[in-house]
Structure 1
Amino acid sequence: MSEWEMYKDKSEDSLVLVVEFFNRPHDTGRLSSVLLHLNHSIEMLLKSILLRHDYGIRKENGHTIDLGKCLKVLEGGTADKPQLDLISEEEKTTLGEIATHRNEAMHGNAVIGEQLLYAYTRSGLSIIDSLLNEVYDESLDDILPNRVLPISGSPLKHLDIIYQEEADKIQQLLDEGARGAARARARAIELSDRTQRGEEDPPTDSELDDILDQIDADDDFEDIFPGVSKLRFDIQGEGPTIKLQFTQSDGHPVHHVSEEDEVEEYAIGFREVNPFDRYSLGVYELADKIEEKYDGDKHVTRDTVWAIVRKIDVHGNEEYHKKLNTPYGGLSDRYSHKAISRVIEAIESGEVEPKVAWETHGYS
């Protein structure tokens, strides 16, 4: 057996383990195992391809080249081996993203949501299938029956909806005081975002805390994560044989519309959003978050925050406030997380003095 065949066999062995771990009936070690074996399968296949084309994969010190070098050679080929131009720039980025998440699974702590794990797994398998077909005239069908390939338990959603739901989950964790768990989920998105922007260094805890503060302030997702916010899925086929690829989007971004907004005719899909998700804070919850920042300074209390939101027109502005029907009947004043940053900005800039706000807009 030739060396390239040995590497190909190792790739196929890991591929079988990817499917086994993805489809296992419990979550113990599942995320890390899928990423580790998927990345290993990809690296072994790429090295097999290089060896088959007589491209040496061992360096002078005896170590083999790393995955990054394999990707660099196979995206564009070399001067004397142009036939090695076998993967696109987008495929190279996707495989690099999978490797980044594998490294974090091996050495750190990041949490990837189920739909994103499915997307990475299926996109990796799609690239493997394409390379098997082009180089070896084979396909995944020759290694695994379609019935065992990873299948999502729920319909695959638009990618930016998946990322927005990840951000919503992070916000929920922050509201519950689980900052460590929120940081782990934010790290996974930021790792992908940096790969898309061509950055190699992982985020520091301080940088992640800044991201969490932006999410908590309800900043726009595309401002926080500009790299992944432009991604979309390119999907071919359906069911077990689906081929999925991450691509850069040049279409219209997803945006929220209110009930009163006129929906344009070219809209291709809608996501029904629970208004209590967007306006998640009661007035006391809003006040407590702002009061927590000042810890008694500047006369920031529940009462003065109540007055401030009226003085600076946060109350009554749909960007920050809305009256919602509660499940128990009646209307409730609800505020978005943007209201927190708006009130703090007004206090810090001197636009409003809490004591003066209470005198002019407090309870009569």
Structure 2
Amino acid sequence: MRMRRQATLYRDSAVESLTLAIEIFNRPSPIARDHAVPMLLGHAFEMLLKSVIYQKRGTVRDKGDELTHSLGRCIGIARDDLQVITNDERALLSALKQDRDCATHDSITMSEELLWVHMRSAITLFRRLLKDEFSETLTDLLPGRAIPVSTEPPQDLRTLVEEELAIVTAYLAPGKRRGPEARARLRPLLSLDGAATGRTDPPTEAEVNRAEKELRKGVEWSKILPGLATLNVAPVSPESDAQEVILRVGKSAEAIPVRKAKRDEEALAYRSMDPFEEYGGKLSEFGKKLGLTQQQGYALIDYLDIKEDDVAYFCRKTKNGNIVYQGLSARAYEVAKKALRDGLDVEKITLEYNESQRDKRKTTSAR
């Protein structure tokens, strides 16, 4: 299939940002490397995923939205809808997104080995997507000599993490007063840890502080960062570049069981993404974005029990039970679209919904 013009522009922007990320990674000067590399890699993948999505869908906007998809939305579509990336690759991209956000809004520091792992795993995925989706070879778009190499590629991610945390622990030793440096090195580790369990937003300051507190106490790192304990560097195929890196989320003998924390449940370092980002869909605009009326949208929400699905619907209340915020996630739209494709009679359920609402108002006024 011939590439759409807009998809080509997105692809070209992706390659340009990847080239700059590689250039900054390879240069002798350490200035801005920890921040610029994740920021540029984040932009590279946002553009590449937009290229893939536009090629397949002809749009990179949800109906009713003025802005194109964010990186987080692109990752979700690529995995859940188009299935062009695996769960392991989603974890890698989620960690990269969090590192990009931390680099943009806070400070992060990575060892040379950890930064290299991020760089090379990103190149591995970028190369695969180019080949699988556009039948293009990365080395045809930029010189192979420019791709970062290491004299000793890390093979054991666990050892790498332990070395990073040894530095953090040394910074936190009594009398050192190097807490800011310790937190800067903790953030990318917390990002990778959270990505392994499904989180897509960067770690909060409270999470960083909790991790710091536990490390000061001498708690085993696999209990502080259980998601990291499930990650390993997977072997690549025989025909691949020997320096390619694939991160894989998998249970190891040392790994402790992990799960996504329930809403409002206390957890050390991971939670769902910011509800104002994940559940940004307004109930009043639900119908409009599906090509329906506002009332039909309300009827769909009621008929499909979307408010009972905490992955699709979020509601924040005061202690008195008053609603201060409610929103819908992408899942709500996916459930509704499937129901519509399956032939749901919208007119019928809307009539039933309107009748039930009238009955409720009558009952309330009779009290």
TM over 0.5: yes
Matched, 1:100 2:98: yes
Q: Which residue in the other structure is 2:300 paired with?
A: none
Q: Which residue in the other structure is 1:112 paired with?
A: 110
Unaligned runs of 5+ in 2: 256-367
Q: Which residue in the other structure is 2:286 paired with?
A: none
Deviations 1:202-230 (A, max 9, x none): 44434323322321222111111011111
Aligned-pair identity (%):
28
Residue 52 of structure 1 aligns to which amino acid in structure 2? Q
Q: Which residue in the other structure is 2:277 paired with?
A: none
CA contact (8 A) 1:151 1:239 kept: no
CA contact (8 A) 1:112 1:185 kept: yes
CA contact (8 A) 1:122 1:243 kept: yes
Residue 245 of structure 2 aligns to which amino acid in structure 1? L
Matched, 1:217 2:217: yes
Deviations 1:31-87 (A, max 9, x none): 21111111111111111111111341124342101122222222143xxxxxx3211
CA contact (8 A) 1:7 1:48 kept: yes
Structure 2 counterparts to residues 210-249 of structure 1, below 5 A: 210-236=210-236, 242-249=243-250
Structure 1 residues 15 and 205, CA, compared in 2 at 3 Å: closer, same or farther? closer
Looking at structure 2, the residues matched to 178 and 157 of structure 1 have their Cα atoms a distance apart, in angstroms, of 30
Residue 136 of structure 1, CA deviation: 1.1
Describe the SS at the equivalent of 2:235: strand
Matched, 1:15 2:13: no
CA contact (8 A) 2:42 2:96 kept: yes
Q: Which has the larger radius of gyration?
A: 1
CA contact (8 A) 2:97 2:201 kept: no
Looking at structure 2, the residues matched to 88 and 128 of structure 1 have their Cα atoms a distance apart, in angstroms, of 13
Structure 2 counterparts to residues 257-336 of structure 1, below 5 A: none
Describe the SS at the equivalent of 2:172: helix
Structure 2 counterparts to residues 1-364 of structure 1, below 5 A: 2-59=5-62, 60-77=64-81, 84-175=82-173, 176-236=176-236, 242-253=243-254
Looking at structure 2, the residues matched to 69 and 48 of structure 1 have their Cα atoms a distance apart, in angstroms, of 14
Looking at structure 2, the residues matched to 202 and 95 of structure 1 have their Cα atoms a distance apart, in angstroms, of 12
Please report the TM-score for the alignment, with normalisation by the length of structure 1: 0.64
Residue 21 of structure 1 aligns to which amino acid in structure 2? I
Please report the TM-score for the alignment, with normalisation by the length of structure 2: 0.63
Residue 200 of structure 1, CA deviation: 4.2
Describe the SS at the equivalent of 1:86: coil
Residue 241 of structure 1, CA deviation: 5.3
Count of residues paired in the alignment: 248
Unaligned runs of 5+ in 1: 78-83, 255-364
User: Over aligned residue pairs, what C-alpha RMSD do you find?
Assistant: 2.1
Structure 1 residues 72 and 206, CA, compared in 2 at 3 Å: closer, same or farther? closer
Residue 14 of structure 1, CA deviation: 0.9
Residue 110 of structure 2 aligns to which amino acid in structure 1? I
CA contact (8 A) 2:196 2:249 kept: no
Structure 1 residues 138 and 241, CA, compared in 2 at 3 Å: closer, same or farther? farther
CA contact (8 A) 1:235 1:242 kept: no
Looking at structure 2, the residues matched to 45 and 177 of structure 1 have their Cα atoms a distance apart, in angstroms, of 42
